[in-house]
Amino acid sequence: MFIFTEQDIKQYVQLNEKALEVVEEGFTKLAKKEVVMPPIMRVDIYDENGEVDVKTAYVKGKDKFAIKVSSGFFNNYKLGLPSGNGLMMLISTKTGMPEALLLDNGYLTDIRTAAAGAIAANYLSKETIDTVGIIGAGGQARFQLRALRQVRNFGKVLVYSRTAERATAFAKEMSEELNIEVIAAKSAEEVVKMSDTVVTTTPSKEPVIQAEWLHPGLHITAMGSDAEHKQELDVQVLARADKLVCDTKAQCMRLGELHHGVEKGAVADLSSIIELGQITAKEAGGRDNDQQITVCDLTGTGVQDTAIALFAYDELVKHNVGINVENKTIDGVII
């Protein structure tokens, strides 16, 4: 079995065109029913504002699949620690034996989540945009902005966080990294009204975007609501969307923005909701014109984890890195 460290993984796996390509392929295979993906298992650690998710998916034809353990502890910023962490295990689809541990500390989750955001924007955002809005100023907010840069050119970014100091630090860091103008906004309302494309990256338990702020041509990717108690969008935002997209209906009906919309009667016609994989598989269209308001609800799927873990494994083995732990046999039993 191979063991790969975060340092190994970061050296050879980046948020680039190939990473977006493998995650998009995963969504396409999901739409084509070539994926076996059970529901998410989650443990909530309410005392510490934390949660741990277990996600997995088997992609037909692949010789390995991933089981991913991912944690989000949202008070960690007070300790100077990232909120996200975790690891992935690759298991053989032929023998069931573990073949690799990817000790990524949440890095691969960041990559695959940001890739999904970029894929959504590539199909749903206007081709020409000037201003991007980011709500939330943590690690995933940074990855989302980097990923969006892969599919769209833009010259200005507005960022809002309930902690002004975090927004200011984000603006300084990302303006230097991307060589564009990044400004800390005073409110979420300012971000939405002044942006062409908005990405929400918060663990909020109440809406941070209101329907009256929407305007023609706006695209919103909401990726923070991945548990029943989380919500970033007022349900009327979903009702006003000309095109409503999600990563998987079944999961979003349980965890995402969609379940709030259905529960409160704002979303009645479930047949009109499109899964992202239907768009990548060319079974449905993305944005139709520059006046549409589009919304994509992302909750994070196991197929993304298997896709990025297999990609990482291939890259790492190709570069001959990692620790190879050989199995030992005692009385004919492999240990």
Active site amino acids: 68
Which sign does the torsion angle of CA 195, 19, 243, 265 carry? Answer: negative
Beta strands in the chain (DSSP E): 2-5, 35-36, 41-45, 50-59, 64-73, 84-92, 98-103, 131-135, 156-160, 181-184, 197-200, 219-222, 243-246, 274-275, 294-297, 323-324, 329-330, 333-334
Provide the phi-psi class of 169: left if phi over 0, else alpha when psi is between -120 and 50, else beta: alpha
What phi, psi does 99 have (nearest 5°)? -115, -15
What phi, psi does 242 have (nearest 5°)? -75, -30
Question: By three-state DSSP, how is residue 323 classified?
Answer: strand
Residue with tokens 């004919």: 332
Collect all residues with Cβ–Cβ distance below 8 Å to 230 and sequence separation of at least 6: 203, 204, 205, 224, 255
